[in-house]
Amino acid sequence: MRADYDDAAALLDGLDLDTLLKALVRSRGYEAALRDPPGRRSWSDEQPRSLSFVDLDDRVSRLAGLLSTNHAQPGASVAILAPLGPEALVSILAALRSGLSPLMLPLHANELDLLRLIEASGAVMALGAGRIGHVRPLLMLRTLAMRAFGTRFVGGFGRDIPDGVAPLDTLIANGVRHPLPESTERPALQVVDSRSFAGPQAISERALLSKALEISRLLKPLASSRIITTLVGGDLAALASGPGMAILTGVELLPLGLFSLGDLHACLEGGRKAHLVLPGAMEPALARSKLASHPALASLVFVQRPGETRAYPAIDRPDLAIVDVDVRSATEVDVSRR
Mean pLDDT of the chain: 91
Per-residue pLDDT band at 181 (split at 50, 70, 90): confident
Contact 277, 219 (CB under 8 A): no
Backbone angles phi, psi at 281, to 5 degrees: -65, -15
- Going by C-alpha positions, the residue among 173, 178, 291, 175 that lies closest to residue 230 is 291
User: Which residues are 234's β-sheet partners?
Assistant: none
pLDDT digits (tens, 9 = 90+) for 33-46: 999 999 898 888 88
pLDDT at 269 over 60: yes
- Going by C-alpha positions, the residue among 32, 94, 17, 60 that lies closest to residue 227 is 32
pLDDT digits (tens, 9 = 90+) for 306-331: 888 777 788 989 999 999 999 999 99
Per-residue pLDDT band at 175 (split at 50, 70, 90): low
pLDDT for position 310: 78
Domains of the chain: 16-202 (3.40.50.12780), 204-337 (3.40.50.12780)
**Greatest Cα pair distance in the chain:** 55
DSSP state of 119: H
